[in-house]
A and B are shown apart, each in its own frame.
Chain A
Amino acid sequence: MTTVEVKNLRKSYDDFLALDGVSLTAETGQLVTLLGPSGCGKSTTLRCLAGFHEPNGGDILVDGESILNVPSNRRKFGVVFQNYALFPHMTVAENIGYGLRLQKRSKGEIETRVFDVMKLVRLTGLEDRLPREISGGQQQRVALARALVLKPRLLLLDEPLANLDARLRDEVRWLIRDLQQQSGITAFYVTHDQSEAMAMSDMVAVMKAGRVAQFATPREIYQKPSERYVADFTGEANFLTAQRVQPVAEGRYSVHVAGADIEVEGVPGLLKNAAAELLLRPESLTLVTTGDTATFEGEVIKCAFLGASLHCEIALPEGGRLKLTAPPNHEVGAGDRVGIAIDLSHAWLMPEVAP
């Protein structure tokens, strides 16, 4: 099958550095997501993979061989675009059969393969429609089928769900993931939506200003981010300034945070008294009665009742605020003094900016 290695990829336009040394790998059958805000270089990376952009430096190896000199029409990669890029003058079946037609396959073979893939993406019956006559979700499934029917070596998806409404997004997302896993095809997926990235990927590359800030599994990205930027981008996060950082073992530190001395895990290699921040995800914080097993105490600033849960924001006397989610039956309101227990095994010490 297909392994991909992106090595130190660089790309600049006039005076703008779009990619500043991007390195990534994808093993056979993995779905690798490039996650980041617009302008971070995630689409540029994908377009270099697809062959639409030529990088200024670095290399892309597919199964160990550089593909930089292979034009996009001979790379045998399937590309799915944000705006679908269906050919408006061709029917659904003609769109899907386009690549096979270019390969000069027999009419019978084209028909069978188009029929099979249409069944796979649940489009049967729409063969003779034009793209403008079907819904956005259906159009995106046509685009997916058009790429998959050629059994590509690599599937490249550029924000494929961005133009769909929330309900369809979920449906198409699972369809993409299912098909990708069934066919065992290696895939790259570009998105700015962290929940999409978490839910679908084997590996996530969080990108920042033309570089990969962290490349790891979704769990690691979320629970053990390499820097504040990554933590911020991957979900709701609380940060408290950590003082008196003291390494106690590899990746373990004792720190002084908001008036309490605690021992936590963190990014390996932090030095004594390094400037660092403690990451506390809202779900690792629990509201408790003052005095109990509380690590911190604070005053409730606001509380929103969301039905299934309670979202509270709490100010600590030493400065700093914590957002947390509490069970809905807690009767707390603004101005109450509360205690907060921390699940220390899920607290994480990290530098504000990775060195």
Chain B
Amino acid sequence: MSMAAQTFGGQRSVNLGFAVLIIALYIFLLVPVVTIVGASLTDGLMIEFPPRGLSLRWYQEFFARQDLVDGLLMSLRIGAITAVVTSTVAMMAALAGQGLSGRLSGLFQLGMTLPLLVPELLTAVGLLFFLYKIELGKTVTGLQFGHILMSFPYAYVSISAALRQVPPSLEEASASLGATGWQTFRLVILPLVMPGLAMGAIFAFINSFDLYTISLLLKPLGGNTLPLALFDFLTYEFKPTAAAAATISILLSIGGVALVQKLVGLQRAF
């Protein structure tokens, strides 16, 4: 066998190993999803995989449970507000950060992503005291505040990455053609960062929908987000209703990503 062929053979085994690794990774990531979706479709009384017969009865059961449906609605509402507020504020922050130079810009980036770096529990405890101080303890507004804070970095990272892709010369060209700053933003910047903006909003929504620790500590009186309601539920019952709820969450996430794909195209979002 010649040298070239040997190298080629070596290359092939490396490729094969890589493929196996990727497949293993996918299995690792997808098994829980497949299991939970499968389990939610069972006709039996326990969460189990493979499902014992097929039915949608646990979905029916889920929507019949007022506490879970209330949790779902609360999570949806908080998530939607979080998505709108974070993406708007993150857009403004990204624009402001763009104007900074060198070291300042690095510090600004760090500051904007701080909620990701500080342990969620610490932020939650800090917020808890702070919210009581300003008399927003145990209120939905307070919880909303916490969700916006925790989801902000996701929106910021996505939007500022999109903004960095816009060459500064476009702004200059627009100005030289007579555009005011606002016109340049509306006609040039915004359309170009739209995929990143939409993706940032979706990230913020999904993150908010998923938050547990902070929701637990800031839990408003008489209100529960879906993860909290689900956990309460699972404490006493081990019914496939929980699997149905999880499947609904997964569908919402997929729906969000599909929406971005449909509106602006995923390739352009990254």
- B125 part of interface (Cβ distance < 8 Å): no
Kindly list 16 other residue pairs between chains A and B, CB separation below 8 angstroms, not including A85-B173, A87-B187.
A51-B175, A71-B175, A72-B172, A72-B175, A73-B176, A75-B176, A76-B178, A85-B169, A85-B172, A87-B173, A98-B177, A102-B179, A102-B183, A103-B178, A146-B173, A146-B177
- B170 part of interface (Cβ distance < 8 Å): yes
Contact A73 B167, beta carbon cutoff 8 Å:
no
Q: Most chain-B CB neighbours within 10 Å: which of A52, A77, A156?
A: A52
Question: How many residues from A make CB contacts under 8 Å with B?
Answer: 28
- In the complex, the 3 A-B pairs of residues with the closest C-beta atoms, listed nearest first: A99-B177, A85-B169, A85-B173
CB within 8 A of B176: which of A77, A83, A89? A77
Q: Compute how far the CA of A71 lies from the CA of B174 in the bound complex, rounded to whole angstroms.
A: 13
Interface set, chain B 159-186, CB cutoff 8 A to A: 167, 169-170, 172-180, 183
Contact A73 B178, beta carbon cutoff 8 Å:
yes
- Evaluate whether A74 and B172 lie within 8 angstroms (CB atoms) in the complex, with A87-B188, A88-B192, A89-B192 already known: no
B169 to chain A, nearest CB (A): 4
The residue in chain B whose Cβ has the minimal distance to the Cβ of A101 is B187
- A185 part of interface (Cβ distance < 8 Å): no
Contact A78 B192, beta carbon cutoff 8 Å:
no
- B191 part of interface (Cβ distance < 8 Å): yes
Contact B192 A102, beta carbon cutoff 8 Å:
no
Q: Most chain-A CB neighbours within 10 Å: which of B169, B177, B183, B191?
A: B177
Measured between beta carbons, the chain B residues less than 8 angstroms from A60 are none
B190 to chain A, nearest CB (A): 10
CB within 8 A of B170: which of A71, A73, A87, A150? A87
- Evaluate whether A81 and B178 lie within 8 angstroms (CB atoms) in the complex, with A87-B188, A89-B192 already known: no
Q: Compute how far the CA of A102 lies from the CA of B192 in the bound complex, rounded to whole angstroms.
A: 18
CB within 8 A of A72: which of B167, B170, B176, B187? B176
Chain B interface residue number, banded: 10 to 19
Contact A73 B179, beta carbon cutoff 8 Å:
yes
Could you list which residues of chain A lie within 8 angstroms of chain B, going by C-beta atoms? 50-52, 71-79, 81, 83, 85-89, 98-99, 102-103, 143, 146-147, 150, 156
Measured between beta carbons, the chain B residues less than 8 angstroms from A103 are 178
The residue in chain A whose Cβ has the minimal distance to the Cβ of B173 is A85
B261 to chain A, nearest CB (A): 18
Interface of B is mostly: helix
Contact A74 B176, beta carbon cutoff 8 Å:
no
Contact B178 A150, beta carbon cutoff 8 Å:
yes
Contact A150 B172, beta carbon cutoff 8 Å:
no
Q: Compute how far the CA of A52 lies from the CA of B173 in the bound complex, rounded to whole angstroms.
A: 10
Ordered by A's residue number, 9 sampled pairs between the chains whose C-beta atoms are within 8 Å are: A73-B176, A89-B192, A98-B187, A99-B177, A99-B178, A143-B173, A147-B176, A150-B177, A156-B176
Contact B176 A98, beta carbon cutoff 8 Å:
no
Q: Compute how far the CA of A85 lies from the CA of B191 in the bound complex, rounded to whole angstroms.
A: 15
Q: Compute how far the CA of A52 lies from the CA of B187 in the bound complex, rounded to whole angstroms.
A: 19
Interface set, chain B 59-93, CB cutoff 8 A to A: none
Using an 8 Å CB-CB cutoff, how does the interface string of B45-65 with A read, 1 for contact, 0 for none? Answer: 000000000000000000000
A131 to chain B, nearest CB (A): 11
Contact B177 A102, beta carbon cutoff 8 Å:
yes
B193 to chain A, nearest CB (A): 11
Q: Compute how far the CA of A52 lies from the CA of B175 in the bound complex, rounded to whole angstroms.
A: 9
Q: Compute how far the CA of A146 lies from the CA of B170 in the bound complex, rounded to whole angstroms.
A: 13
- Evaluate whether A85 and B192 lie within 8 angstroms (CB atoms) in the complex, with A98-B174, A99-B177, A150-B178 already known: no
Measured between beta carbons, the chain A residues less than 8 angstroms from B169 are 81, 83, 85
- Evaluate whether A50 and B176 lie within 8 angstroms (CB atoms) in the complex, with A83-B169, A85-B167 already known: yes
CB within 8 A of B172: which of A76, A78, A81, A87? A81
- Evaluate whether A102 and B178 lie within 8 angstroms (CB atoms) in the complex, with A85-B167, A87-B188, A89-B191 already known: yes
Q: Most chain-B CB neighbours within 10 Å: which of A83, A89, A102?
A: A102
A87 to chain B, nearest CB (A): 6
Interface set, chain B 243-268, CB cutoff 8 A to A: none
CB within 8 A of B173: which of A71, A79, A89? A79
Q: Compute how far the CA of A279 lies from the CA of B192 in the bound complex, rounded to whole angstroms.
A: 54
The residue in chain B whose Cβ has the minimal distance to the Cβ of A83 is B169
Q: Compute how far the CA of A167 lies from the CA of B177 in the bound complex, rounded to whole angstroms.
A: 29
Measured between beta carbons, the chain A residues less than 8 angstroms from B177 are 73, 98-99, 102, 146-147, 150
Q: Compute how far the CA of A318 lies from the CA of B167 in the bound complex, rounded to whole angstroms.
A: 56
Measured between beta carbons, the chain B residues less than 8 angstroms from A83 are 167, 169
Q: Compute how far the CA of A246 lies from the CA of B175 in the bound complex, rounded to whole angstroms.
A: 56
The residue in chain A whose Cβ has the minimal distance to the Cβ of B170 is A85
Contact B192 A81, beta carbon cutoff 8 Å:
no
Measured between beta carbons, the chain B residues less than 8 angstroms from A77 are 176
The residue in chain B whose Cβ has the minimal distance to the Cβ of A146 is B177
Q: Most chain-A CB neighbours within 10 Å: which of B178, B180, B187?
A: B178
Using an 8 Å CB-CB cutoff, how does the interface string of B177-211 with A read, 1 for contact, 0 for none? Answer: 11110010001100110000000000000000000
The residue in chain B whose Cβ has the minimal distance to the Cβ of A143 is B173
Q: Compute how far the CA of A78 lies from the CA of B174 in the bound complex, rounded to whole angstroms.
A: 10
